Structure 1
Amino acid sequence: MKYLSKNWLLVSLIFSTPVFSQIDIPMIAQQLPQGASLGFVAKNLHNNQIITGYNASTFMLPASTQKVFTALAAKLTLGDQFQFETSLLTNGKIQNNTLNGDLIIKFTGDPDLTSGQLYTLLAQLKKQNIQKITGNLILDTSIFASHDRGSGWIWNDLTMCFNSPPAAANIDNNCFYVDLDANQSIGENVKFNVPSQFPILVFGQVQVVSNAESGYCQLDAVVHDNNRYQIKGCITRQSKPFGLSFAVQDPDAYAAAIVQRQLNRLGIQFNGNVQIPRQPQKGTLLAQHFSKSLPDLLKKMMKKSDNQIADALFRTIAYQYYKRPATFQLGAMALKNILAKQAGIKFGNSIVADGSGLSRHNLIAPETMLQALEYIEKNEDKLHLLGAFPIAGMDGTISGRGSLIQPPLVKNVIAKTGSLKGVYNLAGFMTNARGERVAFVQFINGYSTGELENKTKRAPLVQFESQIYNKIYAE
């Protein structure tokens, strides 16, 4: 120890033990299930003092608190006027109710684009008296490159809608649903009904079994090419049909099929081919659709923890910053460079893999997240980001969080949640009893209650959070 500087020792103590307060984190942490890992730090921003800290320099999974970084980088890079644009272009001319040339649809990753909005956009062709297209349908998705999912996304979650690919062509969140009719006799197969608006194929062999066999059942989705899905497994008899949602696996093919169906519905004749070139396309603008502006997108992303918006912005930031087709790897480079240069955040050996926090490759320390929170609060007059955080007991992902719904915490804590299997994180602010703003970061990883029922597994978490945040409030 004699070789360590006094400054290094002080920093180490601040971020490993509760130096400045009587808040005994190790004692409170005993409320958590055995095996859970905790990283925590809280700072009074009024007097610039660390209130308490515990393992604050330890790398952990940030989960959706990662969206705090994404929101800040988007504000600094894109600006409040930013909107995603979906546009119709052509390299031909309109003559005698015919578009003599290709129809180019430029997709830029709009995470809120609906099939209804796309239909309204295509209907602009009809208003220009176009009844026939002689050329090809060209989908320009060149804004993004490589895989449409981040490294470290769990493979067996990829069919889930919260893992839908945030591709350049993103229609209805790249998610669809299938109705299952399991009101069959034991031994018979479940029937699948795919709503007509979805250009996908679902088939499978799901057998109805007795209640005695139900404990050994599960449903599995096997993905094939051309957006074909095979459902396997077994299920007990269900008296009413129910829906299952799945993520689109081939967004380009999905978008092409929807566009062709909508052109047909509009009575616009098209017999050409579908092309998806790698290079950006140019042409005469025919029509365009804009998403909501950045502040509205960020509010939805933060309040609802919307993964699609987060990762669409993640790569869009990289596209704007580097002026080249964006991969997830380029997004990580851009986010860290922007936040380091413009916000002074020191990432050190942190790992950033995506903008949503879905990746199990992300590694962030609580003290690094705290830097982002401090910058946000200090620059709120320019950023206007605090209003995007969920409010305890009021809205977003902490509207019903058991530990925060009683006074004095209710309405007084704003925080971004972060949840994966075994992960319960919070990053945000509270106003303490003296009216001073406190920033805090809670990373809990490896949380497991074993075989406890779902309705009781959060009880230790509620007890821990209730105690520590009430103590911070009173500190």
Structure 2
Amino acid sequence: MFGFTKKFLISTLFFISTASAQVNVQALSKELPQGASLGFVAKNLHSGEIIADYNASTFMLPASTQKTFTALAAKLVLGDQFQFTTSLLSNSEVQNGALTGDLIVKFTGDPDLTTGQLYNLLAQLKKHNINKINGDLILDTSVFASHDRGSGWIWNDLVMCFNSPPAAANLDNNCFYVDLDANQPVGENVKFNVPSQYPIQVFGQVKVVNANEAPYCQLDAVVHDNNRYQIKGCIARQSKPFGLSFAVQDPDAYAAAIVQRQLKQLGIQFSGQVKIPHQPQTGTILAQHLSKPLPDLLKKMMKKSDNQIADALFRTAAYETFKRPASFQLGAMALKRVLSGQAGINFGHSIVADGSGLSRHNLIDPNTMLQALEYMAKNEDKLHLLETFPIAGVDGTISGRGGLIQAPLVKNVLAKTGSLKGVYNLAGFMTNARGEKIAFVQFINGYSTGELENKTKRAPLVSFENKLYNALYAE
């Protein structure tokens, strides 16, 4: 009888000990606003134990934590030596200072390419004694296919720079700026000032109104063909000019206009046609511009949550995987194939629509994201991806995350953020009090503080995250 009792007590204590290691996420979830949905999972990578599990198999919007998948896929497919190339090619000869045929400008989706870099590239034509182009200007953007935005991107965000199209031809992030002068009498129209370097047109009817009318005002941008933007609405009088940024809507036309303008600035004559064929072009390379290598691009993508780098790599990985022009759909197929085949990630019924996380069609559960984090940690000696994650209180998108900026969490939590309207996600790593690495995934969707949004928007989030991650630290 005594032996039975002793055995029973030991087993009971083991159960209590095991149970105590679990962080009670459900209780902590009460810190969040009513109506918010939470999915959370955390794993002690030292012991291999799941130490927190709350709705971890529920599909939710990953937002920019999606870039974690993209970073891993890019590493596995492209490798550290990868660089985007922008090239000038021709199949013609140079005679008496003239290129006797066409000039091909081959774009491959470089998300960091600037107009200054393009100018320097075109300036190299002078080294070939080219002062005139007798043929046509051919823009080769064939590396990507179909739409330059993912399915499920919100329509009324498409004019915003964070939604700029990650096209094959991508200059200055396909974003431009316009100055508005609203220092006009009430009833008069706002004046628009478009910097001369942008080959776009902005016009509109924006009225200056008094203080009583201003709360009812809204500015709307209507996009027309050939990168023409019409601004409507009203605005309160402003003493100083202010800037608005917009996404380029037709990247090919935008790039073609800039190339022609820069050729003229360089004194290179051109009077032919601009052509944008669907087929890839070949020829003798006259000059090339290379982007920064992949590790640098990934660090910027992860630290700053750069959408254009993410979706450029998303489709480029598909192009390399399938050896054909890449659409967003092909990008999703490639990402799943690569990560399931090489990293053993089981996506199940997950939906992948893009590489940035902008799409409202993406559906991922925390358990699936955890698989990617585990693979990264296990292979960090080869991948070197943990160093790309933002560090709480130090850099990137969690440098000022309210619940994580005090010890012992500051400089300890490494996490990719994911934010959309009503979405506050984290996916990353931390070290607990015993020096063991923890991988965690936090998906919060449907977050709203209603009428108190302006005053208390993040207060519940700060309280929740501070208590949760301190509990993980003490685990």
* TM tier relative to shorter chain: over 0.9
1:103 corresponds to 2:122: no
Taking the aligned partners of 2:127 and 2:231, their CA distance within structure 1 comes to 42
The equivalences for 1:422-437 within 5 A come to 422-437=422-437
Taking the aligned partners of 1:63 and 1:395, their CA distance within structure 2 comes to 19
Task: Report the counterpart of residue 156 of structure 1 in structure 2.
Answer: 156
Taking the aligned partners of 2:174 and 2:453, their CA distance within structure 1 comes to 33
Is the contact between residue 61 and residue 445 of structure 2 (CA under 8 Å) also seen in structure 1? Answer: yes
Task: Report the counterpart of residue 9 of structure 1 in structure 2.
Answer: none
Deviation at 1:454, TM superposition (A): 2.7
Deviation at 1:127, TM superposition (A): 2.2
Deviation at 1:81, TM superposition (A): 0.1
1:218 corresponds to 2:209: no
Identical-pair percentage: 81
Letter paired with 2:337: N
Letter paired with 1:456: T
- Secondary structure at the aligned position of 1:346 is classed as coil
Task: Report the counterpart of residue 27 of structure 2 in structure 1.
Answer: 27
The equivalences for 1:16-415 within 5 A come to 21-415=21-415
- Secondary structure at the aligned position of 1:454 is classed as helix
Deviation at 1:125, TM superposition (A): 0.5
Taking the aligned partners of 1:405 and 1:455, their CA distance within structure 2 comes to 20
Question: Please, which runs of 5 or more residues in structure 1 have no aligned partner?
Answer: 1-17
Question: Please, which runs of 5 or more residues in structure 2 have no aligned partner?
Answer: 1-17
Is the contact between residue 20 and residue 50 of structure 1 (CA under 8 Å) also seen in structure 2? Answer: no
- C-alpha change, 1:165 and 1:404, in structure 2 (3 Å) is same
Deviation at 1:26, TM superposition (A): 1.6
Rg (Cα) greater in structure: 2
Taking the aligned partners of 2:227 and 2:386, their CA distance within structure 1 comes to 40
Q: CA offsets per residue over residues 141-196 of structure 1, 9 Å max, x none?
A: 00000000000000000000000000000000000010000000100000000000
Taking the aligned partners of 2:135 and 2:61, their CA distance within structure 1 comes to 49
- Secondary structure at the aligned position of 1:452 is classed as helix
Deviation at 1:238, TM superposition (A): 0.4
Q: CA offsets per residue over residues 421-444 of structure 1, 9 Å max, x none?
A: 000000000000000000000000
Is the contact between residue 194 and residue 202 of structure 2 (CA under 8 Å) also seen in structure 1? Answer: yes
Letter paired with 2:171: I
Letter paired with 1:437: K
- C-alpha change, 1:315 and 1:212, in structure 2 (3 Å) is same
Task: Report the counterpart of residue 454 of structure 1 in structure 2.
Answer: 454
Taking the aligned partners of 1:73 and 1:136, their CA distance within structure 2 comes to 38
Letter paired with 2:50: I
Taking the aligned partners of 2:21 and 2:48, their CA distance within structure 1 comes to 14
- Secondary structure at the aligned position of 1:315 is classed as helix
- C-alpha change, 1:460 and 1:387, in structure 2 (3 Å) is same
Task: Report the counterpart of residue 8 of structure 2 in structure 1.
Answer: none
TM-score by length of 2: 0.96
Letter paired with 1:151: S
Taking the aligned partners of 1:39 and 1:288, their CA distance within structure 2 comes to 47
Is the contact between residue 20 and residue 51 of structure 1 (CA under 8 Å) also seen in structure 2? Answer: no
Deviation at 1:20, TM superposition (A): 6.2
Taking the aligned partners of 2:205 and 2:300, their CA distance within structure 1 comes to 38
Task: Report the counterpart of residue 5 of structure 1 in structure 2.
Answer: none
Higher mean alpha-carbon deviation, 91-100 vs 69-78, is at 91-100
Deviation at 1:126, TM superposition (A): 1.5
- Secondary structure at the aligned position of 1:58 is classed as coil
Aligned positions, number: 458
- Secondary structure at the aligned position of 1:340 is classed as helix
Task: Report the counterpart of residue 10 of structure 2 in structure 1.
Answer: none
Taking the aligned partners of 2:129 and 2:234, their CA distance within structure 1 comes to 52
Taking the aligned partners of 2:27 and 2:474, their CA distance within structure 1 comes to 17
Is the contact between residue 64 and residue 416 of structure 2 (CA under 8 Å) also seen in structure 1? Answer: yes
Deviation at 1:302, TM superposition (A): 0.1
Deviation at 1:455, TM superposition (A): 4.3
TM-score by length of 1: 0.96
Taking the aligned partners of 1:360 and 1:98, their CA distance within structure 2 comes to 51
Is the contact between residue 42 and residue 439 of structure 1 (CA under 8 Å) also seen in structure 2? Answer: yes
- Runs of at least 4 residues of structure 1 off by over 3 A? none
Q: CA offsets per residue over residues 389-422 of structure 1, 9 Å max, x none?
A: 0000000000000011000000000000000000
Is the contact between residue 22 and residue 51 of structure 2 (CA under 8 Å) also seen in structure 1? Answer: no
